[in-house]
Amino acid sequence: MEENKIEKLANKTNFDRKWEDYDSYRTAVIQYPPQNLSLRDKDKLLWGKSFYRQLIQDLKNNFEPAETIS
């Protein structure tokens, strides 16, 4: 699942396009394992994984903003 595509959803203004992207996101979350979790729990799981990856990256970069890292 591509988190970058999902993050860009918040920047869209056209309702139809947002709905299309949300529907794609929802479908991807539903298909994400494990199958015994609810949609809400899968969403929380994916959020946690994304948060973890970002935290690891921030720790590697000493929490410097991305634009200052060369």
List average pLDDT for each run of 10 residues in the chain, which is 70 residues long: 64 81 93 94 95 96 80
pLDDT of res. 4: 65
Q: pTM for this one? A: 0.64
pLDDT of res. 27: 94
Distance CA 55, CA 30 (A): 25
Q: Where are the alpha helices (DSSP H) in 1-70?
A: 3-8, 15-31, 39-60
Tens-place pLDDT, residues 42-58: 999 999 999 999 999 99
